Structure 1
Amino acid sequence: MATKAGGSYGAGGLALAVEAARRFYVEGASKVQIADELGVSRFKVARLLDTARAAGLVQITIGAPPQVDPYLSAGLRRALDLRHAVVLADGRGPVGKSSDDDDGDDDDGGERGPLGAAVGKLACDYLQHLVGPDDVVGLAWGHAMAALGGAWSERVAATFVQLAGSIARPDLALGAPELVRTTAERAGGRAACYYAPIVLPDAGSATALQQQIGVREAFGLLDGLTKAVVSIGAWSPRESTVYDALEEADRDRVTGAGVVAETTGLLLTAEGVVVDALPDRVVAVGETQLRRARVVAVAVGASRALAVRSVVRSGLVDTLVTHASLARALLVAS
């Protein structure tokens, strides 16, 4: 005999609970409808549904698309205190291969290979359900981001804005302006983009550049940023656009300031503190502007675990889209 919510239920009572559960969970009837059909109050219906679940008569299973690992996604969300985490599955489940065996390339070419493209596509699928016509959506730059822009299929008249300048990258078919423009065209929205380096030699040059009409228009939109997608780079060669744009002396000075991560021109320590190591020289969204938006971070490569933890600790991002080996590395370090 099951006891729940102040009542005892024999076989007859459980049969009533099963009928209420069938109508509610399978056929989609409301509690008011079920109450009318069974001749009881809707509060009684609620107790019957509770009883059916407590007695094991109702078992709810939530599935996930095969591309997503629901266990790693949930574990990462809890461990890093994120609003949401989406982890690309690798078929090994939540235990599988230890992150100690992973390298930065993840046996798939890292961000520059199929893995980066797959994570970018996953991020696109996720973002398309968040963006509405009134949104101002900031886009970062990189291999995974290029895959995101190329995969966009939803028609939504949002405004897409470039978050930062860039550098010459022969390994990327789309520069930062082309990425924003392509995404906006595919969405049927508006693009705000510009051609500019991410770092200037001095503050005066950066200020002058930001007064140019295209740059000024894009930067004017950043105060109204509502959504943003950023990539996370480690402070090392070919891992950070800012790192690659600097002269050796500047790199050493930034490294000496304790920087381990870069995202969209912002430099961060391992503790997640944003460091102004290049005062007024970076052409990119500001920390305050980014914090006003809902920010989705895209991260590829298990070697970037320290950088990802840094950015998450900063509170700049609330959602992380990544892949299984990096997720495991992050969970091991938690």
Structure 2
Amino acid sequence: MTRPRAKAGARAHHAGPEELVHTAAMARMFYLEGKSKTEIAEDFGISRFKVARTLEAAVRDGLIRLEIRLPTELDAERSDALRIRYGLSHALVFRSQTDDPDGAALVTHRLGAVTADLLAEIVTDGDVLGLGWGPEIDVLGRELTRLARCTVVQLCGVTPLQPVDANVVDAVRRAARVARGAAYAIYAPLLLPDGKTARMLRRQPGIAEAVGRFSQVTKAVITVGGWGPGLSTVYDALSESEREDYRRQGACAEVSGRLLNAEGQIVAPELSERIIAISFDELRRVPDVILLADGAERATATSAALKTGLFNGLVTDTAVTEHLLA
């Protein structure tokens, strides 16, 4: 295929000094001052189509260089890929620092900090913010410095291996102080010995008041646990025989105290009767539910959690993202 010949006498266009100055002025007005192309056209006495062509040519020829600068820890490309792949409204990916000896702790801290910034951005006056359980939530509470005026509700009990006033309860209190709103905490374990004890505790005045607010939650933040030691509150609280029994049933993830298989389906529904936490049916009615996940060891669990259809938001690291996009 041959190239078309240039017309006789035609020569490459070279912008003169006046054209360059005019182009620079148009660029300043459009990109920095926020003027429309129609307004710029009126200023220069030309058509808005001429303004559009001038700006497009300036970008193409390098006279105007557009830079997109994000904080170094945020991965814009993977964030957008996750948003598209899973149909998410909120998707944030930050770069993992796995080569550091304290890499896991740093990733968890970064996850909580990025989520705190996200909540400061999307929570509006009058929202009811629900917070789940996990070390990421503890970091989130400590990192929150600004939040619209809202109510904060604890969405589940805490691990029975720690005092009931620790971590998630403190995170709820801190978030409510920043938001200048009411706090509804749950002073009870997440997992109880049997369903009867769980039902009795749910009726206790303080706990019942928090549980009664689940239906009012407008934005929720939930963590995901993997099925292994140190990866799930429920896993750590069960006996070895129970862990293996649920593993044989396909458990690979834990969300809000419920166990999921790789397809995002609940396994061991009888265990749910021993849980004090917001239910999946209640979560489905929340407009914004954001999942927090960090570490390659939680990648499979994160995939299972997303398959539930509960979440329209995800904050995670590159290690989890690579698995989700593979």
The residue number in structure 2 matching 1:304 is 298
Match of 1:229 among 221, 225, 236: 221
| Alignment equivalent of 1:292, drawn from 279, 282, 285 | 285
The yes-or-no answer on 1:148 pairing with 2:156 is no
Q: CA shift at 1:262, angstroms?
A: 0.8
Contact 2:151 2:179 (8 Å CA) reproduced: no
**What is residue 281 of structure 1 aligned with on the other side?**
274
**1:269, distance to aligned residue in structure 2 (A):** 1.4
Q: Distance in 2 between matches of 1:21 and 1:114?
A: 42
Match of 2:313 among 312, 316, 319: 319
1:73 paired with 2:79, answer yes
Q: Equivalent residue of 2:275, what SS?
A: coil
Match among 184, 197, 204 for residue 176 of structure 2: 184
Deviations 1:6-50 (A, max 9, x none): xxx966798666653342113322233212212244465445545
Instruction: Choose 25-34 or 282-291, whichever is displaced more.
Output: 25-34
Q: CA RMSD for the aligned pairs?
A: 3.0
- Structure 1: how far apart are the matches of 2:189 and 2:96? 36
What is the aligned length? 310
- The answer to whether the 8 Å contact 2:227/2:251 transfers is yes
> Is the 2:234–2:257 Cα contact (8 Å) retained in structure 1?
yes
The aligned residue for residue 167 of structure 1 is: 159
Counterpart pick for 1:60 among 66, 69, 76? 66
Paired residues for 1:262-281 under 5 Å? 262-275=254-267, 276-281=269-274
1:217 aligned onto 2:205 = no
**Percent identical:** 38
8 Å Cα contact 1:199/1:246 also seen in 2: no
Aligned to 1:23: 29
Which one-letter code corresponds to 1:68 in the other structure? L
Larger CA deviation: 161-170 vs 247-256: 247-256
Return the TM-score normalized by structure 1: 0.81
Counterpart residue number, 1:96: none
Of 257-266 and 55-64, the range deviating more from structure 2: 55-64
Aligned equivalents of 2:95, 2:164: Cα separation in 1: 25
Specify the code of the residue in structure 1 equivalent to 2:263: E
Larger Rg: 2
Any idea what SS the aligned residue of 2:118 has?
helix
Amino acid in structure 2 at the alignment position of 1:290: L
Structure-1 separation of matches of 2:31 and 2:87? 31
TM-score (norm 2): 0.83
What one-letter code is carried by the residue in structure 2 that aligns with 1:285? I
Instruction: Provide structure 1 residue ranges, at least 5 long, that are not aligned to the other structure.
Output: 1-8, 92-101
Q: Which moved more, 1:218-227 or 1:163-172?
A: 163-172
The residue number in structure 2 matching 1:87 is 93
Distance 1:156 1:115, change over 3 A: same
The alignment partner of 1:115 has SS state of helix
| Structure with larger RCO (C-alpha < 8 A, sep 6+) | 1
Question: Is contact 2:253–2:259 with CA below 8 Å preserved after alignment?
Answer: yes
Paired residue secondary structure (1:160): strand
Unaligned runs of 5+ in 2: 1-11
Greater shift in the superposed pair: 114-123 or 220-229: 114-123
Which of residues 200, 225, 230 in structure 2 aligns to 1:238?
230
- Identify the residue that residue 123 of structure 2 maps to in structure 1: 131
Aligned to 1:5: none
Query: Conserved in 2, the CA contact under 8 Å of 1:157 and 1:190?
Result: no
Q: 199-208 or 310-319, which moves further after superposition?
A: 199-208
Distance 1:292 1:17, change over 3 A: farther
Distance 2:86 2:101 in 1: 25
Letter in 2 for 1:37: D
Code of the residue aligned with 1:39 in structure 2: it is G
Task: Give the superposition deviation at 1:135.
Answer: 0.8
